[in-house]
Structure 1
Amino acid sequence: MRKDDVAIIGAAGIFPGAADLAAFHTNLRSGRESVGMPGADRMRSSDDDPDVPYLAMGYLDRIDLFDHELFGLPRREAELMEPHQRLLALLTHQAIESAGYAPAALRGTDAAVLLAAIDPGAAAGGERDVESILGTSTAALAARLSYLFDLQGPALVVDTACSSGLSALGLAVGKLRAREVPLAVVGGVNLFPRLIRRADWIPMQGLESGDQHCRPFDAAADGLVAGEGGGIVLLKPLTDAVTDGDNVLAVLKGIAVNHNGFRAASMAAPSQLGQAKVMTDAWRDGQVDAGTIGYIECHGSGTPLGDVVEVEALRRAFAESGVTGRQCAISSVKANIGHLGNSAGIAGLFKVMSALRHGTHYPAANFSTPNPLIDFGGPVYVSTDDRPWQPENTPRRAGLSSWGLTGTNVHAVLEQPPAASRQPVSASGAEPLAERDAATATGQCTELVTVSAAALSALDRYRGLVAAFAERTDQPLRSVAHALNRGRDDHPYRIAVTAADTGELAARLRAATLPEEAAADAPRPVLLFSGDALIDDEVWARLCTDFPVPAECQGPETGSLGPAATLVVRQYGLCHVAESLGLTDVSLIGTGAGNLAVRAAR
């Protein structure tokens, strides 16, 4: 573990054909291509003409749904938010929760938000008020998240064209290493709120595929195809993540950003020298032996020129690092889901994280015949099947590349997470779990599990999702309970159940009666110190035995105090008893001599 290593501790993503990361992994393992026409759900939720042929791409099923109540937003303000902003808010909420934190736990921190820029492409009904401007402004992407989650560090939107997502990642890593921020929210999304009619589309020669299939490194490759989706990750210095007991999903060892400059024939042309340099710079930054890198997620846009240049850059980078022999698999997620524009690197990041976690080399989609213009005789080869990735004597390590159309190149090197270094705690946080394992295994220990949502309908859906997760997870009940009890905000509509295992949890959540109304905010307690309300000697003696402050108040000199002074001392002690029992946010009112107790307690 190096002090410069950065941990990914939370992640949430959505991609064509994959509403969650488990489905994304399944699709990658099968080599599925999730590119096609917009589905029935998408057309029903769209204002576009359902009888018109549209451009094939990697579509999401729904981009119109948003729980504005979850974020405390007025409905009108949510309606004026562009779909990219809404999806980013949802993914950020999910990513924070996936890290085991309640969003409220991050409020007021100096966490940074760094996002890939997007082109919204639509205004909110042509209105020019503040809400509509902020709801559609690219400049407001990061600021929207910082405001919604009360994150008070830098809020930056990065635009380097296709490499924007990984450029944002590089900036975040730099800020975390310099200890400018304790945590960073990084990511991006790509959406097409207005569908593109097939008749209106003219493919750019050499860049976009004429038949709308992306085939990186294949002899039939003729360009890219567009895609929707994106993701958010939470980053923290690895040393802090280990100390805090965070669940580390992957480790960012090194990252580098450069520009082709005059090394390219034009600003938009790829450069073998520029790409090779940024890769070796990233490996050097991470102090990683290039010979230990077992996989590289390529930019792999499937263009005739781009693929050839990229593989030659890989060959050069490995050669300069002294690597020989056939040892590094390559592929590109763009063949599976399309090119996610400025967030393309984020999609690649999620694929790498999944491969590192599951120890799997995924098969390259749409690959059958190697491009004859590419020399695969060196250290890299296209991954063609789903097979285990278990290197000997070294952790799994992967490279990740993203090239911008404007010449900005980014490469990162990631590593599988270290073994857990801290023992988890129970859902109550009160005792080490190892001491409870035997009781849990025999069903002698139950956990209280709470589930809540901002609306009753959302609670009904959410408990179903939690129940489905509980049925399929291999995580112990204690971990599930801890995540739900400690890693979620408490919303107004709530249910709570007890269970001895995850199967019982699923059954009880489904059987639980939904509340008839939202939980009311707890009234603020009022402590009244009356000038004539004495605390008798027997009650005071018990308080002195059970609590420290009353005992401290009971000195030898108190025996000679008059009734009024005795009242003040005892009421002051009683106030601290209430505080020790959890009554911290209280109103204090006094009458007569009781006013002196109130003044002392404040």
Structure 2
Amino acid sequence: MEYTGDEIAVVGLAGRFPGAADVPELWRALRDGVDAVHDHTDDELRALGLRPELIADPALVRGHGRLDGVADFDARFFGVPDDEAAAMDPQQRLFLEQSWVALQDAGVDPARDERAVGVFAGASPNRYFLFRLLEQDPAADWEARLATRWSPDYLPTQVAYRLGLTGPAVAVQTACSSSLVAVCTAAQSLLDFRCDLALAGGVSVTEPRFRHTEGGLVSPDGRCRAFDAAGQGSGFGNGVAVFVLARLEDALEHGDRVHAVLRGWAVNNDGADRAGFAAPGLAGQAGVVTEALAGARIDPASIGMVEAHGSGTPVGDALEVAALTRAYRAAGDTRTEACALGSVKANLGNLDAAAGAAGLVKAVLAVRAGVVPATPHHQEPNPDLNLPATPFFVPVKTVDWPSDARPRRAGVSSFGLGGTNAHVIVEEAPAPAPRPPATGPFLLAVSARTPDALRDLADRLADHLDTDDHDADGPPRLDDVARTLATGRAAEPHRAIVPCTDHATAVAGLRRVAAGDPPPVDGPAAAWVGGADVDLFVDPAGARVVPLPHHPLRPVRHWIEVGS
């Protein structure tokens, strides 16, 4: 693969989604075509504080992409006082938590990493304030609270403050396209050398308070039948997705794990060339795809999947396919029904400000694994799409990426109400350069904030090394594991060192730590276990950063109950 120097690497990712507590669970759900939308019962709706007349309304959409544990937060771990955590917008708590998880996935310890880290993020309106805090005490000085803390403006700065990040911290608010616009903004900031790493993504927490209206955005049952003749919109849902981005050249030099590459991106607005403020624009959507393709400098016929905005409305879907077709044909793509067209909304619902980032997660995982996930609920194409005359088809079952389509590439679209459009071109990561076998012995440094957390983390690391559930590269090399633990994790007070020569001795040693009987060590390793600031990474022979289990979190409920 040839690069221009303008490519951006995805070196870390994290998220929580309806029916999926993390990114690996999401990928399994996408491969299996899972419908993760939950149908709320009357009791569940009452517990959320919905009025009896709304619950009885036949137009109420009960289907919603529910996020488990949305009320829970490990406030102590992130240094947030309990009373502040209870008042904090759960969107800020979720995004803070998953930003930290994403940095862990990237092997970045902000306290020791000298690279400047920026934060670019978007969030939905603070409904927790509207439906919890305001009703609890209408007379409180909420204006001061919102003006200084809990509005979406402060989402990235909360993360920068809590994690000690000094790059640009920029809120991006463009409705449903917020998180993908944040990714584009972060990528450009990296190319402009405004930061060296960037957190980018979005979060949304809503409740099932939406009503279906004929011709509206919300379907009667909360399901999104993207590109289907039966499409009537989509339901909303909760979720958060965060990426760690770096310049590709820097990431390769640093030895980072590259999940995928962003080859091109673009952001524009439909302007006035549309039926109304809330209506999509054909020219604007075609233009943003055209600009992203031009920036990527690739043949559009090399793209095997488009993760579309896919709102499930008859007009919106037809216009989006027409815009994609215009852009691809103008760029020289003569294929018919050759490029898969999907929408993660069919699995999760519309995650609003997090929708674009959720689609990008799907695309990154698809090009990495070489698998095109099925689009649920698709039975009969909307005839207005005229798919046989386009480069696109909707996959009804999960299939392997064509073996001759290399490098694997995907496009990702997200369009916000009001007309701000974003499109990103994703490409599989370059193959790692060959390395000689790792030779030990190795020192695996494990630390945590409490003895229980240390035992838990050691057990999870042992499981990670002892499982067959790895990607095509197999289990991580121990030199990579040693480097990641030594340089990409904070040195917490409770520590242990596991000397090992192979995976079997590593797993056995970690099990001893989990059982409270860590292996004995001496020299610098013993000094580190005793609390000294010792550099344990002594292998300069090309060890790399790899994703590993992160420090356990202990979330507890921080929530203003209805009527409390």
By the TM > 0.5 criterion, same fold? yes
Question: Which of 146, 152, 155 is 1:141 aligned to?
Answer: 155
The C-alpha deviation readout for 1:215-238, integer Å capped at 9, x for no partner, is 001111111111111211111111
In structure 2, C-alpha distance between the alignment counterparts of 1:48 and 1:465, rounded to whole Å: 38
Task: After TM superposition, list the pairs within 5 Å mapping 1:387-402 onto structure 2.
Answer: 387-392=399-404, 394-402=406-414
How far the C-alpha of 1:449 sits from its partner, in A, is 2.2
1:128–1:464 distance in 2 versus 1, CA, 3 Å: farther
1:461–1:291 distance in 2 versus 1, CA, 3 Å: same
Q: Which amino acid aligns with 2:410?
A: A
The C-alpha deviation readout for 1:283-307, integer Å capped at 9, x for no partner, is 0011111111111000001111111
2:77 is the counterpart of 1:70: yes
In structure 2, C-alpha distance between the alignment counterparts of 1:370 and 1:393, rounded to whole Å: 25
Q: Which amino acid aligns with 1:471?
A: D
1:182–1:39 distance in 2 versus 1, CA, 3 Å: farther
1:520–1:361 distance in 2 versus 1, CA, 3 Å: closer
1:386–1:317 distance in 2 versus 1, CA, 3 Å: same
SS in 1 for 2:359: helix
The C-alpha deviation readout for 1:263-282, integer Å capped at 9, x for no partner, is 21112111222111111111
How far the C-alpha of 1:462 sits from its partner, in A, is 3.2
In structure 2, C-alpha distance between the alignment counterparts of 1:497 and 1:309, rounded to whole Å: 58
How far the C-alpha of 1:475 sits from its partner, in A, is 2.0
Match of 1:283 in 2: 293
Question: Which of 359, 371, 384 is 2:370 aligned to?
Answer: 359
The C-alpha deviation readout for 1:136-180, integer Å capped at 9, x for no partner, is 221110001111122112111111111111111121122111222
Match of 1:169 in 2: 183
Q: Which amino acid aligns with 1:72?
A: G
SS in 1 for 2:340: strand
Question: Which of 128, 151, 154 is 1:122 aligned to?
Answer: 128
The C-alpha deviation readout for 1:312-335, integer Å capped at 9, x for no partner, is 111111111121122211110000
How far the C-alpha of 1:119 sits from its partner, in A, is 1.0
- Asked if the contact 1:242/1:421 (under 8 Å) is kept, the reply is no
Match of 2:347 in 1: 336
- Asked if the contact 2:302/2:405 (under 8 Å) is kept, the reply is no
TM-score normalized by structure 2? 0.81
2:66 is the counterpart of 1:59: yes
1:196–1:213 distance in 2 versus 1, CA, 3 Å: closer
How far the C-alpha of 1:450 sits from its partner, in A, is 2.9
Match of 1:482 in 2: 483
1:450–1:213 distance in 2 versus 1, CA, 3 Å: same
TM-score normalized by structure 1? 0.76
Match of 1:227 in 2: 237
Greater C-alpha Rg: 1
Match of 1:452 in 2: 447
The C-alpha deviation readout for 1:93-116, integer Å capped at 9, x for no partner, is 111111122232346x53211101
1:183–1:317 distance in 2 versus 1, CA, 3 Å: same
Match of 2:540 in 1: none
1:162–1:523 distance in 2 versus 1, CA, 3 Å: closer
In structure 2, C-alpha distance between the alignment counterparts of 1:66 and 1:449, rounded to whole Å: 29
Match of 1:466 in 2: 461
SS in 2 for 1:7: strand
Match of 1:381 in 2: 393
- Asked if the contact 1:299/1:401 (under 8 Å) is kept, the reply is yes
SS in 1 for 2:184: helix
- Asked if the contact 2:237/2:349 (under 8 Å) is kept, the reply is yes
1:247–1:523 distance in 2 versus 1, CA, 3 Å: closer
Question: Which of 90, 93, 96 is 1:86 aligned to?
Answer: 93
Q: Which amino acid aligns with 1:465?
A: R
- Asked if the contact 2:301/2:335 (under 8 Å) is kept, the reply is no
In structure 1, C-alpha distance between the alignment counterparts of 2:258 and 2:532, rounded to whole Å: 40
1:457–1:415 distance in 2 versus 1, CA, 3 Å: same
1:466–1:522 distance in 2 versus 1, CA, 3 Å: closer
- Asked if the contact 1:185/1:234 (under 8 Å) is kept, the reply is yes
1:523–1:101 distance in 2 versus 1, CA, 3 Å: closer
In structure 2, C-alpha distance between the alignment counterparts of 1:55 and 1:492, rounded to whole Å: 47
2:305 is the counterpart of 1:295: yes
1:47–1:370 distance in 2 versus 1, CA, 3 Å: closer
Match of 2:259 in 1: 249
In structure 2, C-alpha distance between the alignment counterparts of 1:273 and 1:165, rounded to whole Å: 22
1:300–1:417 distance in 2 versus 1, CA, 3 Å: same
Q: Which amino acid aligns with 2:24?
A: A
Gaps of 5+ in 1: 424-433, 438-444, 525-602
Match of 1:105 in 2: 112
In structure 2, C-alpha distance between the alignment counterparts of 1:387 and 1:171, rounded to whole Å: 33
Match of 2:330 in 1: 320
The C-alpha deviation readout for 1:13-48, integer Å capped at 9, x for no partner, is 1111111222111111111110113699x969x765
The C-alpha deviation readout for 1:193-248, integer Å capped at 9, x for no partner, is xx435xx7444633110122110011111111111112111111111111111111
Match of 1:552 in 2: none
Q: Which amino acid aligns with 1:81?
A: M
SS in 2 for 1:144: helix
In structure 2, C-alpha distance between the alignment counterparts of 1:487 and 1:152, rounded to whole Å: 18
How many equivalent residue pairs?
499
In structure 1, C-alpha distance between the alignment counterparts of 2:145 and 2:289, rounded to whole Å: 43
